[in-house]
Amino acid sequence: MYDLNEVKTFVSVMGTGNLKESALELGVSKSTLSRRINHLETVLNQPLLRRQANRLIANEAGLQFLPFARKMLEIADEGLKAVEDLKGEVTGKLTVYVHNVLIRGWFSSRMFEFLDQHPGVNMEVKTGNNPVQGLSGNDVSIWVGQPADEGLKAEKIGELSQGVYASPQYLEETTHIQHPSELHHYAWVDMIKNDEGSICLENDVDGKVCFEVPESRLIVDQFTLHADAIVRGNGVGILPNYLVDMRAKHHADSLVNCLPDWRADPMPVYIQYPYGHLPKKLQVLINYLKEESRHFY
């Protein structure tokens, strides 16, 4: 009877077209792959491959056997994952993509706590401001804003409240803002280009007030730069209250909420991961991050 290594070798060669690339892919020698293919053909009593130029391609029997070979490997992989889920240990590598605004404070604390709880886990953390596309089976993404990849499962785990901020020095040089309708008199710092051309603020007395976005002196795509520009007196802008609070721990009073009774639309926070069966380690991490999302503002 043939074994799974022989089936895996056959499927690999069908993908690469030659033994050299498959040997590199599987981490074994070309002679080992040749023996596996020969034994598989002997057991099946049928040649499966033929050589054409410098490539190996499937003959009619190989084409017939290929979908069954792939299905065997898929079932074997599902069986392995099911058995792994029965283990009490959480081990192996995990990759986490995190939006920059969540790194300081919330995620850094969660990361170290999770690693302390699970010493067998190796974690690779990647940060950025652009949505992640096509996560693999051991990946998870924590993202601020609406998900962009419909091929990933997305769960909303919280939201970040926002306010209108300026530096104390900027307000001293101009005048304090009393109402959102006055914002068009002030220099504006945009985080991203607002395609709708308007921004809405809301409070418990007056409800929602929308106004035209003032022409911005500076448009950036990173929250840290956005906050830096406002602190340096380049104008007024909307910031997540969470980010301002994190900054205040090291730079107290560098930002002032210009309209403390008014709030901008909150930014949703999503956790994203692949559909289908997930490894135990990834399930544990996802559940942990969802539970810890109660720390969001």
Question: Is residue 166 located within the same domain as residue 196?
Answer: yes
Give the residue from 27, 50, 84 where a domain finishes: 84
In a shared domain, residues 100 and 112: yes
Domain match, 175 and 233 both: yes
Q: Is residue 297 over pLDDT 60?
A: no
Q: Any bridge partners for residue 127, and if so which? A: 98
Indicate the pLDDT class of residue 193, thresholds 50, 70 and 90: low
Angle between helices 241-248 and 223-231 (to 10 degrees): 60
Same domain, 255 and 166: yes
Type of residue at 234: N
What pTM did the predictor assign?
Answer: 0.65
Q: Do 202 and 59 belong together in one domain?
A: no
Phi and psi for 247 in degrees, rounded to 5?
Answer: -65, -35
8: containing domain: 4-84
| Residues 262, 164 share a domain | yes
**202 band by pLDDT with thresholds 50, 70 and 90:** very high
- For residues 142 and 97, membership in a common domain is answered with yes
Residue type, 137: G
Note whether 73 and 38 are same-domain residues.
yes
Half-sphere exposure of 288 (CA within 13 A, CB side): 21
**CATH number of the domain bearing residue 47:** 1.10.10.10
Last residue of a domain, one of 34, 60, 84: 84
Q: Same domain for 64 and 139? A: no
- Who has greater pLDDT, 251 or 268? 268
- Among the three residues 84, 111, 128, which one is the final residue of a domain in this structure? 84
What per-residue confidence (pLDDT) applies to 56? 87
Full 3-state SS string of 12-46:
HHHHHCCHHHHHHHHCCCHHHHHHHHHHHHHHHCC
Residue 272 sits in a domain of what CATH number? 3.40.190.10
Percent pLDDT > 70 in the chain is 92
Regarding whether 284 and 139 lie in a shared domain, the answer is yes
153 and 164 together in one domain: no
CATH number at residue 250: 3.40.190.290
The helix/strand count (H/E) of the chain reads as 9, 13
Mark whether 254 and 165 lie in a shared domain: yes
Q: What is the pLDDT of residues 31-88, one digit of tens each?
A: 998 899 999 999 899 899 888 878 888 899 989 999 999 999 888 887 776 666 655 5
- The total of structural domains in the chain comes to 3
Q: Tell me: the pLDDT tens digits for 259-279? A: 999 999 898 999 999 888 788
